[in-house]
Structure 1
């Protein structure tokens, strides 16, 4: 009987050969990883980084292109917003390569432990973009820059050094090639950071263990209030000399460390503004390698992470291993598309949807909890950096399909946060053992409910429900007390009172669905009632959501187009009035029925929103707007699918195609807005496949119009769900019929289990709308 596995293996190899041969014949890559372009989104509003990382890795080793401060003369410096990921494509210089970065956020932190190789005279100041020669930064050209999954390469023109970067999960790996003999230096900047300001680095420590190994840590007070990161650095060549400079202002009390000259070869350093240098003599063509490991717990753990993940000096091996991990990640969905540009968009979206959240534990399972104690993850991988206001919408539902075991660990990480949190609530927006309280809503409940209802999270579901209820009843947060008492957040209590009310109502519906699933009828009844609180802020006299005060009076001075100061977070009422994803039928009825909803949607997508209405909202720019619909920000990501309710499904098909073509491109400026930790990319992936999770915590996906010719989703349970778009082309954007497993599909939704059971979803496409669909 052993013959059968061998036969199957041979058949698989033969089939694989023909697949690869066919791909080659079409001018396509046999490796999916070759379609990934990390430069997409590195210009304008995308806020992505081009550097090296592995899927959900703890290290994101990437270039930083400027040192823009968060504040100038005591006031917020708006230019800093461009540097949320540390890199802006249009910048002419590179300051260095730091080891931690967010992807696609609209606020920032991190940028830890910047390294920069230099030649010639030692300089410990980074200089400025206008005068780079006065510092250690360097000019560079995009002609000499290359980025791929887990690999980045650039020539530093000022020093004539080629820098290459790769990584394992917890270790950044640098390879510097020096083109000419010279005295050279590695700069380690312990005061550098993203969204930096004077005093952000509270303290840093560096200990030189020998002539090639340095350990230490730094603590910062920024977006994360009390963030500590440990490091271990090892160089492939002993340094001949080292030194440091502390840029702190002169203090009255200096202690007795003043007995030592700490600037020259002193092995025990500490301060809030440290920069170090390590000096070498190099020959022409010589390569110097640096391994740089991180830990949330200790210097010893950082060393252990290095020894476990990168015990050798084979740079290419680490690069290739990381790219193999990316290939495995991308193979979860194999698509056939008509153009190479579409392959690049699709697999770069998959790449961006596997950067965050990031692993936040050492190889032995140790991690720092939100209680700032050391814990050990037993039976799960602990993750950090949960941008939940963005990612609950499509990113976490995407993981529930293609990577459910990882999303289960993310839910477990949220539950660990709840258990360790002295406030007794789930994360709002958390990173690096800190709650940063960014944005609004309590959307961890959406992620948790969706994961439990879909069978992804198999931990203690009743305990998870308790955590959701406790979070929803935390009265001190963003008007929740008034929301519970009045049924809405009053205008005078909170500047984003309307969007808060709408988001709380949706989250409450999620809790109700979870309670129903678990048979908790009292909780179900309570939160089902709260889920209808969105009605409290709908003004029937104008047909929009609108702020009102505690007496029940709607705000008189109100602008339906303005995105700032009107009671909404990062949006206007035109976009937010449709944010009732859990009861779109009820919303349509309140608006006035199918015809009114259709007219509303038509106007939203076709009217013009002048710049003055978003000039004070930095997260919204012209590139991310179609009509008055803001795709570059998240609150209205579901609305294009609401045409299904009006009986005009063809309009969904038309506008989905328009958004896919208008907001996602190849090239550095290829994203219409912040990728927001994978949410923009997840929207692209779902919509490209032809369905979308309008209301996570429901088991339904709403149908759209795919742009793939075919797709195979390889599920963790071993089954395959296939999508096929028959007669697909750029002109054939309208769905004529939908079949599931060969049978006509009634309605405009499919169930989660329809996908997880494996099967075949067929869209028959045409050039004209089928208005009877």
Structure 2
């Protein structure tokens, strides 16, 4: 009855005009090749479980040095690989670093092997070859044939439970392997400890504690089989397992407790031809008891197809929040795949009763909101969270509540920088929780204590011991010889400070406004008028003598160079343009950025710089450039914005395994695509304006949470007609190059009239 009511609710929630099967257009395989770093497996919107295949086991270090090959496996899967080593339950989507890959399960038959083997000799272990011809990847569903053992593997999921279904041949030697050692980015000593408890002949519980990107991460599980196993055991070569008085037992076989850093367990079955063995594995950040509650609440039965239908119904509901019309199937695939990727992260991080593990490692309860984790904020503040403020405002507000809880639990009294699974890993720069909070407050989506939120922003921004802030506060710049990536940090701090100033002004806190509006002008201190670029300064106040505007490393920048970062003043583009010589000179800089050709030497320094995401010297694969194409709107040449964004859409996105021109970065690349395809983009989150571009669909209807609809109606749109001739808002000519957040939230129609030639003047 519960599932029937859920299905009925989801069906009624989808607007009548949008009954088209949206699921068919989502291609989870997109971005799984090269640098997209997405995964193809089963998850639900913002789900805690991401159940997906792993295609290799790459050591983080080789001969004591970083192994660059691991970078390909941030999501555990690479499309060109020929073998699958198993299916694990936690993954990042589109990141440039990784962790996770918890609780890997692999079905096998024949002689029991408790090592993964190698990609070139899969028969030497429990891995199996596979073919993309038998692979199916859909929202909330994944299927593949494990060819070496003739096993059909199928996966689906609820929020907190992964559901496996394995169809076996007839055999007396069927095995399910539970690998507690396997993980993505296999650091030496990553496993602190693992534990398995065999509760009965169908139920297993346990936990895994790791020391990886997250310093101390604990994940609990409860795992149940659809039929009893006949025997079980573990590998018997774990050198680091303390045995002591436990030597009195034979722990290798049919012993109900397994503990150590290197545990691989097995469970044996007898199977008839075509028999399905099903497994449900629930996660919890709190306890095995919490995992059991999650399992019993979310998937109490064994109907795999029903769970798949429920998961896909959830995706259908979310995807229909924007219904597009287009004569191009590829465009629909691009758009709905982007929405799919945008709605994966951040992820739920609490049990069904609201309990979660906090940053202080204590157990907390989220009262009245969903607690989230996986905050890749250096990426996602730019477009993903602004997108949520439009079509996922309640979720975005809950994400901010989660950030504020993080702040309260932080020993450093700081908002999250890059946080996941009750850990802060301090990755990347800036303090961009501030941007996310400010954007929500300024756009009226702040059902929380806004003054308390502002205090958290201010305390974070005044933290003198954090990443060069002492120099930034005292001098207005950061010396490159004291703290690296100094120019990037100054520019991003200045933007975040502007966000704080806007909130302070709105709340009438003038002292904070004056402090931070002054700090927001610090970008001027790293501009060198002699070269026309932002440039690193040294401790003595002079500009760094050896300077290469095309170089990234050792030049004061991170994931970008002076050409890109010199355009990063989103909160004051008019003053930036004046500072850089005026509109004519600035336009020439933009033109050159897109048309110049980078010499090969600039692609060899790091995996961050690849030709995958680059057009000229415009680096779409790295986020500091994401607003750049829209800056022509400030130079009096908006037709160049229209031309550039349509070109980027075509070059950087297509519905195939290599269809993303860079890491998707927890949905940021996809959010850029969504906004840009709709015809507007948030150049400066924290402001209420969206800069106009060139819509790439015929029509879009946004179903807003306030019950209203906002329609983008595009006349005469085509691959040739990329230039905007005129724009109307609710039938009235729009004589500006932006719309406001209120324009969207009030509902109505934004009409673009397109043509093949630029409309100048």
For 1:206-355, list aligned pairs within 5 A: 206-245=196-235, 247-249=237-239, 254-355=243-344
- Work out whether 1:743 is the aligned partner of 2:732: yes
- Aligned match of 1:695: 684
- Single out whichever of 564-573 and 580-589 deviates more from structure 2: 564-573
Which residue, 352, 355, 372 being the options, matches 2:361?
372
Residue 32 of structure 1 pairs with residue 22 of structure 2: yes
For 1:5-20, what aligned pairs fall within 5 Å after superposition? 16=16
Superposed, 1:159-198 pairs within 5 Å as 159-198=149-188
- Say yes or no: does 1:731 pair with 2:745: no
- 8 Å CA contact 1:246–1:271 kept in 2: the answer is no
Corresponding residue number in structure 1 for 2:55: 65
Question: Contact (CA 8 Å) 2:240, 2:262: kept in 1 or not?
Answer: no
Query: For 2:260 and 2:279, how far apart are their aligned partners in 1?
Result: 24
Q: What CA distance in whole angstroms lies between the structure 2 residues aligned with 1:69 and 1:515?
A: 48
Partner deviation per Cα, 1:1-36 (whole Å, 9 max, x = no partner):
xxxxxxxxxxx999948x76xxxxxxxxx2111110
TM-score (ref. length: structure 2): 0.97
Tell me the CA shift for residue 532 of structure 1: 0.4
Alpha-carbon shift at residue 388 of structure 1 (Å): 0.2
Query: Equivalents in 2 of 1:351, 1:714: separation in Å?
Result: 16
Question: What displacement does 1:666 show?
Answer: 1.1
For residues 611-649 of structure 1, give each alpha carbon's deviation from its aligned partner in whole angstroms, at most 9, with x where no partner exists.
311322312311200010000110010010000111111
Indicate the residue corresponding to 1:148 in structure 2: 138
Identify which of 98, 103, 116 aligns with 1:126: 116
Partner of 2:44: 54
- Partners of 1:499 and 1:567 within 8 A in 2: yes
Instruction: Tell me the equivalent position of 1:5.
Output: none
Q: How many residues align?
A: 751
- The answer as to 2:507 corresponding to 1:518 is yes
707, 719, 724: which one aligns with 2:696: 707
| 1:611 aligns to 2:600 (yes or no) | yes
Corresponding position of 2:558: 569
Structure 2 residues not aligned, in runs of 5+: 1-11
Q: Deviation per CA, 1:468-494: give whole Å up to 9, x if none.
A: 000001111110111000101111122
Query: Match of 1:498, SS?
Result: helix
Number of the residue aligned with 2:3? none
Is the contact between residue 563 and residue 614 of structure 1 (CA under 8 Å) also seen in structure 2? no
What is residue 667 of structure 1 aligned with on the other side?
656
Aligned counterpart, 1:8: none
Secondary structure in structure 1 of the residue aligned to 2:623: coil
Residue 471 in structure 1 maps to residue 464 in structure 2: no
Within 5 A, what are the aligned runs for 1:392-431? 392-431=381-420
Report how far residue 365 of structure 1 moved: 0.4
Within 5 Å, give how 1:435-450 maps onto structure 2.
435-450=424-439
- 1:483 touches 1:489 (CA, 8 Å); kept in 2? yes
Distance 1:81 1:355 in 2: 21
CA distance in structure 2 between the aligned counterparts of 1:406 and 1:14, rounded to whole angstroms: 18
* 2:14–2:320 contact (8 Å) kept in structure 1: no
Aligned counterparts of 2:33 and 2:632: Cα–Cα separation in 1: 33
Q: 2:569 aligns to what?
A: 580
- 1:454 and 1:133 map into 2 onto residues whose CA distance is 57
Q: State the Cα distance separating 1:85 from its structure 2 match.
A: 0.2
* Deviation for aligned residue 1:250: 5.8
1:111 aligns with 2:101: yes
Partner of 2:5: none
Partners in 1 of 2:316 and 2:14 — Cα distance?
A: 20
SS in structure 2 opposite 1:294?
Answer: strand
SS of residue in 2 equivalent to 1:771: coil
Pairing 1:602–2:591 present: yes
Question: Is the CA contact 1:611–1:622 (under 8 Å) kept in the aligned structure 2?
Answer: no
1:596 and 1:220 map into 2 onto residues whose CA distance is 52
For 2:639 and 2:391, how far apart are their aligned partners in 1? 28
Maintained 8 Å contact 1:620/1:673: no
- Contact kept, 8 Å, 1:564 with 1:614, in 2: the verdict is no
Match of 2:538 in 1: 549
Structure 2 vs 1, CA of residues 729 and 369 (structure 1 numbering), >3 Å: closer, same or farther?
same
> Corresponding residue for 2:615?
626
| Secondary structure in structure 2 of the residue aligned to 1:643 | helix
Measure the CA separation in 1 of the matches of 2:297 and 2:609. 44
Partner-residue secondary structure (3-state), 1:563: coil
Aligned twin of 1:769:
758
Give distance in 1, aligned partners of 2:682 and 2:556.
26
| Alignment partners' CA distance in 1, 2:556 and 2:123 | 48
What's the CA shift string for 1:408-429, capped at 9, x where partnerless? 0000000000011111110000
